[in-house]
Structure 1
């Protein structure tokens, strides 16, 4: 068939789906994009964008209350007007959704937007139930599943009968509770816990194991130390066994005793939105709802592709978008692969957490003999002049060759410095090569060079900007 005859059905309109639709249209295909809810998916509407707005506002409140320069700049307890802060979120969300999703789709004649819920009838047909209840069929040559995910809810007795928060409802709240309990110990839970604490809540985190248990232990330890300094209570190895809600108060029974709060935030991960797609009927393989794809974003069914949070890929919007665009190339006759060997991860706590590649433990599991160095931030000039030296940078290398295998950092600008580490990994650089590179002085990214230098020398004995 010619490109103009190729019809691709795209389920969803978030990061992966939009990338798939736009790249498919760019390569000459005709696209029908099917969305059951709000265009734009999780990131712009209820995830990345509104959460980072709230986190930034909380950071400003924190700095007004306390900073390393309080001796010379008078601190002041901020007055928090949550309704006015909240009003800024949807305004910016609406702006970005229109600019990056609605407007682009309206202007692309090769893409038809169909509003409704999708369900596979066979490997070339979707049934779509419209928002008005009418049903139609969409025949396609290829299909892309970008249905995203929703907050997962643990089966804690009594929880379902309470007005608990998910990240979605927490971000939309026009009040800051006096007492907040957070169930969860990974990205969303920890980011929002700190934000609410800085806006005035007394926050307690229930971690089933410990903070960021899948990362290098130093990561969780550094964040827990920071949280303790800010008055955030972290209860490790703690789980709720019962939840009730009476007289506008949550009561949790746990192995740490009875806990009470005004609000309860549940943030223990996300569940793929695949349960209504009828995937089992057409043979698409899933694992606990996640669509299993290979490096070409193919499912086990020819012509059916998927990417993003509804798959077995890491749940980051940039991974979703990269997967969607590569799937589109493959659906239109190309040959593209998604390489996640140097995938950066960033957590927007303060200090930020950023990692790429292998941790020391992961590298050793894969058979590498490793050598690693950890540099505390009191050795980084930028951190010193900021009077903010909490955190570290760690480099993991292959012992014999010195080749960089991974980087973990907890630092104020860790999210900014990590991309340099990504490029070094992609290039197969050794720690000696990184140590010999030119890095601008008084930047946090210079910490990568300094950490690399510690493989062969004592950086405490170097001048400020020694090469």
Structure 2
């Protein structure tokens, strides 16, 4: 079986490895760098910056409380950039090693379908190579979405790609879009001394998460000097004396903000143009490639995974879909439960969510029970001096099956796996209660929140 994959991000390279493990002859086409957006200009580099920002915030604000005394703490932007680049380079090198060890042929260039079972690859020098395939997987990812705001093309208006590698920390930044990406960059730059403003057109920042866990983050950002305007729509961006002027309209009328940089953070768009999909009759909807449960497109021999299919544009979703596609092609019966997708925000506090929010469960017709536990009553959170979070379970009131878990606090992005596993196993809240959780850990708060569903919380 000859399988050709277009795109070497976390969906493409994982599907390549799984297909090779199952005995396929695999070719991976990548036009830029292995690892895709996630590794090169997404998940990994942003988390390097966020980790340093978190340490800096801790030392600045909590150092004395934690018994650490020093004259001053400040970030070395150049050193931080070097560490970011070094981390990315090391991981990209690791993927190259995985390709080699799994006997996967990597072809550098832009792939395009030019006929049934033929892909044409054009390299950077313009040379053309034709590759035949039995099955193909489209894993072309996404790019930052652009909105037709007047002035969006002015110098100083940037996307998340450029925000990772600015020559210096700007004095001020206005972030248009208060979703995950916007909130993470707000956390990075405010920790580095930049004056940050967020403008979000929806009623809340990070609107896809349960408000009870978003609230501690929003309050923390405001406390640290970030101006947040929700229910506000940007009308235009213009040049100003010291940078750029953003004009917006909100619930309270007109708003004007001046900033040195403007970060457009309004989501991402699938990369599906110029692939020759029309000639093969592959169906799309607003740029998204349409797929079935096994990731197969409307063409019998072509599959698609990850951001190019729309849906949850997350690296771990792309990887899971890549495994499904590879196993389906190789005659297996893949089983991945996509109800268990964790959503994570690497701010301080960290936010993590899996399954339904309370509102989503009620809107779906469930009679709902919830249990919560504040981290100010959790011993490990006290030790870490990070007590501003909360844990919340959402359950079916009749069966007490766990429908969702939502966490704001330290290690939330690591702890959320307990909720994902509970949903996958259709666990009840009593099964969480009767599972022993280690002490002292932040994980104990999950145990207490589970008790909260029955009103039997022990430590509050």
Instruction: Name the TM-score class by shorter chain.
Output: over 0.9
Q: Quick check: 371-380 or 222-231, which moved more?
A: 371-380
Q: What is the alpha-carbon distance in structure 2 between the residues aligned to residue 349 and residue 68 of structure 1? A: 19
Q: What is the alpha-carbon distance in structure 1 between the residues aligned to residue 49 and residue 147 of structure 2? A: 25
| Matches for 1:207-222 after TM superposition, within 5 Å | 207-209=200-202, 210-222=204-216
Q: What is the alpha-carbon distance in structure 2 between the residues aligned to residue 294 and residue 76 of structure 1? A: 59
Q: What is the alpha-carbon distance in structure 1 between the residues aligned to residue 345 and residue 295 of structure 2? A: 26
- Which of 190, 193, 217 pairs up with 1:223? 217
**Deviation readout 1:183-239 (Å, 9 max, x if unpaired):** 111111100111110011010001111201222222332211111111111111122
Q: What is the alpha-carbon distance in structure 2 between the residues aligned to residue 19 and residue 125 of structure 1? A: 22
| Matches for 1:38-437 after TM superposition, within 5 Å | 38-67=33-62, 69-70=64-65, 72-74=67-69, 76-99=71-94, 101-109=95-103, 111-209=104-202, 210-246=204-240, 249-255=243-249, 256-437=254-435
Q: CA RMSD in A?
A: 1.8
| Cα shift at 1:103 | 2.1
Asked whether the 8 Å contact 1:383–1:389 carries over to 2, the reply is yes
CA spacing shift, 1:385–1:39, aligned 2, 3 Å:
closer
| Cα shift at 1:76 | 4.5
SS at structure 2 position matched to 1:147: coil
| Cα shift at 1:174 | 2.7
| Cα shift at 1:102 | 1.6
Q: What is the alpha-carbon distance in structure 2 between the residues aligned to residue 300 and residue 231 of structure 1? A: 50
**Deviation readout 1:41-86 (Å, 9 max, x if unpaired):** 1111111111111001111211221117438433643232211211
Q: What is the alpha-carbon distance in structure 2 between the residues aligned to residue 365 and residue 123 of structure 1? A: 45
Asked whether the 8 Å contact 1:295–1:338 carries over to 2, the reply is no
**Deviation readout 1:94-143 (Å, 9 max, x if unpaired):** 111001x222223443x222221112123312222221112232221100
Q: Quick check: 379-388 or 389-398, which moved more?
A: 379-388
Asked whether the 8 Å contact 2:377–2:459 carries over to 1, the reply is no
Match of 2:442 in 1: 444
Q: What is the alpha-carbon distance in structure 1 between the residues aligned to residue 100 and residue 428 of structure 2? A: 48
Q: Structure 1 runs of 4+ off > 4 angstroms?
A: none
Q: Quick check: 405-414 or 214-223, which moved more?
A: 214-223
SS at structure 2 position matched to 1:295: coil
Asked whether the 8 Å contact 2:294–2:324 carries over to 1, the reply is yes
Q: What is the alpha-carbon distance in structure 1 between the residues aligned to residue 66 and residue 143 of structure 2? A: 46
CA spacing shift, 1:249–1:437, aligned 2, 3 Å:
same
| Cα shift at 1:167 | 1.0
TM-score (norm 2): 0.95
TM-score (norm 1): 0.93
Q: What is the alpha-carbon distance in structure 2 between the residues aligned to residue 188 and residue 388 of structure 1? A: 22
